[in-house]
Amino acid sequence: MILLFLMLFSSYLLGSIPCGYLMGKIQKGIDIRNFGSGNIGTTNVLRSLGFLPAIGVLAGDMGKGIASVYMGFLLAPFVGINSQVAGGLAGLSSIVGHNWPIFLKFKGGKGVATSAGVFLILIPFPFIFSLGVMVLIVSFTRYVSLGSMIAAVSLPLFVLLWIKDYRLWYFVLTGIVAGCVLFRHRSNIARLLRGEERRLGKRSKC
């Protein structure tokens, strides 16, 4: 039980590393939360700092999810639970850390990139289909937030269609993450309904 707690807490701390915030400090010495949408995620970094910093943040945030899953796989025999369950729990903890990071007073990102890293490792084929949904939505609407939310909601459906082993576990896990994504996008939903959401390509001044 103690080892399980340490695994989850370590994954949470890993997820709490604020890549977007650090990129703002490194690139321009700014707090990225004071610009654009105020979010520390890839999209706001793209608008505020440019393409290459955004790619760095995307890689970092996805990397947190990937590393946490592999941590779960590695520690599963010692924790005494199945590796897929351990990987999923560790991944979920890293997503929680990204969304509510202890290093930024529990005000973090929206969990999309970190979730992508988690599910790329755990369930690659359903994830790829979900990613395809996001690409299509963003291509037609240029709303990253809308594409992210629809992709998150579609992932549990792709789990039901594709996954056979541990289907219920992954359906519940992806459902929880989809709920977190929708919850963290509350302000985006409000702006979409008002017609005020920013489309991809619009820059913010730093």
pLDDT tens-place string over residues 183-198 = 999 999 999 999 999 8
pLDDT tens-place string over residues 116-139 = 999 999 999 999 999 999 999 999
103 residue type, one letter: F
Determine the structural domain holding residue 63 and report its residue range.
2-194
CA 122/CA 78 separation, integer angstroms: 20
Establish if 82 belongs to a structural domain: yes
pLDDT at 206: 57
DSSP state of 75: H
The tokens describing 112, both together, are 């999309």
Q: With a cut of 50, list the residues of the chain below it in pLDDT.
A: none
Total domains in the fold of the chain: 1
Establish if 202 belongs to a structural domain: no
CA 92/CA 165 separation, integer angstroms: 19
pLDDT tens-place string over residues 58-73 = 999 999 999 999 999 9
**Mean pLDDT of the residues in the chain:** 95
Is residue 58 within 8 Å of residue 142, measured between CB atoms? no
CA angle (160 as vertex; 154, 164 as ends), nearest 5: 140
Question: Which residues does 57 contact at the CB level (< 8 Å), separation at least 6?
Answer: 19, 20, 23, 41, 42, 45, 113
| pTM to 2 decimal places | 0.95
Establish if 148 belongs to a structural domain: yes
Establish if 203 belongs to a structural domain: no
Establish if 47 belongs to a structural domain: yes
Written as one string, the DSSP assignment of the chain is -HHHHHHHHHHHHHHH--HHHHHHHHHHS--GGGSTTS--SHHHHHHHH-HHHHHHHHHHHHHHHHHHHHHHHHHHHHHTS-HHHHHHHHHHHHHHHHHS-GGGTT----SHHHHHHHHHHHSHHHHHHHHHHHHHHHHHH--HHHHHHHHHHHHHHHHHHH--TTHHHHHHHHHHHHHHHHHHTHHHHHHHHHT-PPPTT-----
Establish if 199 belongs to a structural domain: no
Establish if 100 belongs to a structural domain: yes
Establish if 200 belongs to a structural domain: no
